[in-house]
Amino acid sequence: MTKSRFAGRVGLFVALAVIVLVGLVVVFTKSGGLKPHYELRLRAETVANLKRGSLVLMAGVPIGSVSGINLEPGGKGVLIHVRINDRYKIHADAQFRIEQLGFLGDQFIAVRPQANTAPILPPDAEVPLEQSFNIEETVRSATGLVDEVKGIVKSLNDLAVRLDQKVLTERNLTNVNITLNNLRIASDKVITMVDGINALVETNSGSISVSVSNLVQFSDRLNGAATDFSQLVSTNRFELTKAINSLDNTAEVLERLAYGVEEGRGLVGALVKDDVLKAKIANIADNLQNVSSNINRFGLLYKPKQPRQQQNPPYPGKSPIR
């Protein structure tokens, strides 16, 4: 191998090394690897379409990038590591959300500051990451919704068929038509009755006014009578109380008398309970009735005639006088 060929190979190797070094510098410059930074950990259910090197934007300005993505144990979530330029401080109340550039563009992590009242996030802090709008999940949900709508439409169609077969029959429609006609006739009669009442009221408005005024006067008089009665009760409250107490005492006495009669005490009780005495009283009453009847017929000094004694003839046979 000649020296010129060896020198050419060495020169080519150096040139390639310089090109690689320049590329690494460019890559580190774009990713912020050569700038002071701090890391944050974002916890999410899915990484969506994020990948290593995806940008982290705040108000559209790149402030960092995704440095790593790790799957959680059990596959129930991911932990996304991001590098944030040290010059940008993020408060703990800020929202982290996966968004997309345009409809089919690359996804990035958007940082949306809120009130900035919470403290600054320290390095290696862990914050939740909200998911972006997922077209596939939306289409899947829409497909399920379409299937449910199809089922509802089918149920409505079956219901309409059953209604048409069982409810909206010719007989039922005829009955409905008859019912509507009857309602129309009844409404016409009601209207006619209302018109007659209106005419009656208009014709006898004077009599109705007099009747109403009489009712008003009667109610006034009734109110006056009620007022007078109330005053009477208030004035004679003592006498009324005394009379009520007397009635209570009388009721007690009558109750005791009724109890004594029921037990057979006294004359009335004996009359109620003693059958012999009851028969004698009945006999005396009959005799008194006969006496009063004779006095009414013949007078107070009436004496009944004694019957004559018949004398036997001196001898039997015919009379000589004849």
Give the pLDDT confidence score for residue 34 in this predicted structure: 56
Question: In the chain, which stretches have pLDDT less than 50?
Answer: 31
Give the pLDDT confidence score for residue 62 in this predicted structure: 92
pTM for the full model? 0.36
Give the pLDDT confidence score for residue 1 in this predicted structure: 52
In order, the DSSP letters of 8-28 are HHHHHHHHHHHHHHHHHHHHH
Give the pLDDT confidence score for residue 99 in this predicted structure: 87
Give me the residues paired with residue 55 across strands: 65
Give the pLDDT confidence score for residue 293 in this predicted structure: 76
Give the pLDDT confidence score for residue 197 in this predicted structure: 85
Which amino acid appears at position 230 of this protein?
S
3-state secondary structure 156-195: HHHHHHHHHHHHCCHHHHHHHHHHHHHHHHHHHHHHHHHH
Closest C-alpha among 1, 74, 87, 72 to residue 38: 87
Give the pLDDT confidence score for residue 40 in this predicted structure: 92
Give me the residues paired with residue 178 across strands: none
Give the pLDDT confidence score for residue 83 in this predicted structure: 93
Sequence-distant (6+) residues with CB within 8 A of 88 are 58, 63, 64
β-pairing, 95-100 vs 78-85, is unpaired
User: Residue 39 phi/psi, 5° resolution?
Assistant: -105, 150
Instruction: Identify whether the C-beta of residue 55 lies closer than 8 Å to the C-beta of residue 30.
Output: no
Give the pLDDT confidence score for residue 135 in this predicted structure: 59
Give the pLDDT confidence score for residue 131 in this predicted structure: 77
Give the pLDDT confidence score for residue 315 in this predicted structure: 53
Closest C-alpha among 45, 41, 76, 78 to residue 56: 41
Give the pLDDT confidence score for residue 35 in this predicted structure: 67
Closest C-alpha among 70, 48, 45, 67 to residue 56: 67
Instruction: Identify whether the C-beta of residue 64 lies closer than 8 Å to the C-beta of residue 88.
Output: yes
Give the pLDDT confidence score for residue 251 in this predicted structure: 84
Sequence-distant (6+) residues with CB within 8 A of 95 are 111, 112, 114, 130
Which amino acid appears at position 211 of this protein?
S
Q: Residue 257 and residue 265: Cα distance in Å, rounded?
A: 9
Q: Residue 39 and residue 51: Cα distance in Å, rounded?
A: 16
